[in-house]
Amino acid sequence: MKFYEFIQYLQKENPDKVIMVKSGAFFNAIGRDAIVLESVLGFKRTCHAKLLCKCGLPVSYVKENLEKVKNRLKEKNISIILYDEVEGGRYKYNNKTYDVLFELEGESIKENRNSLNCIECKNNVYNKDINKYEIEKENFDNLIKIIKSEIAKFFDKKS
C-alpha cells in the first residue's frame, strides 16, 4: 500500500472530514482535502501525482503552536482530523502506527474533486506526457553549471 492509499483509506472512514496525516516533516492532506484547505485556509496546493493534489503543514509548527492551529481551524469551522505517528496507534502503515492527534467538529466538506486542472496549476506543473514533474521557475541545467563551477572554484583554492 502506498502512503496516499493509506490516506484515502482514512478519508473513506471519515467522509465528511478533512484528513491530514503525518508523513516525515509534514502533516499532509491529499485530493479533495488539499483543495478544501487551499480554498479555506490559503494553503499552497501542489501536485502529489497525476490528478491528485496535496498540501501540508510542517509538523514542527503544529506541535509548537498546537492551540493556535486548533483555534484557527475552529474559526474556519472545519471538520478535520490530524493523525500522528504514535506508539500503539490504531492504524498501521509501513511498520508505523498512527492515531488521532486532534479532531475538530465543524462543517462537513463539500469538495468531491481530487485535483484542480493539473495543466493550469500554478503551484506545480505535472507533465502528463513524460509522467514527471517539470521545474518551471528554475533553469535546472543552469543551476547544475553554477554548482559545478562553485565546486571547481572551491577545490582550486585548496590546491
On the question of pLDDT at 137 being above 50, the answer is: no
Q: Give the residue, 65 or 109, on which the prediction is more confident.
A: 65
Task: Please state, for a pLDDT cut of 90, what percent of the chain lies above it.
Answer: 30
**Rounded Cα gap, residues 135 and 75, in angstroms:** 36
Entry field: residues in the chain: 159
Asked if 18 and 80 count as a contact pair (C-beta separation under 8 A), the reply is: yes
pTM tops 0.75: no
Q: What domains, with CATH codes, occur in the chain?
A: 3-116 (3.40.1170.10)
What confidence score (pLDDT) does residue 132 get?
Answer: 45
pLDDT band at 99 (very low <50, low <70, confident <90, very high): very high
Three-state secondary structure string covering 91-128: EEECCEEEEEEEEECCECCCCCCCCCCHHHCCCCEEEC
pLDDT band at 118 (very low <50, low <70, confident <90, very high): low
Neighbours of 28 (CB within 10 A): 21
Strand order in the sheet with 18-23: 46-49, 52-58, 26-30, 18-23, 80-85, 96-104, 91-93
Pairing of strands 125-127, 132-134: antiparallel
The single-letter DSSP state of residue 54 is E
Q: Give the residue, 150 or 79, on which the prediction is more confident.
A: 79
Lowest-pLDDT range of 31-40, 130-139, 143-152 = 130-139
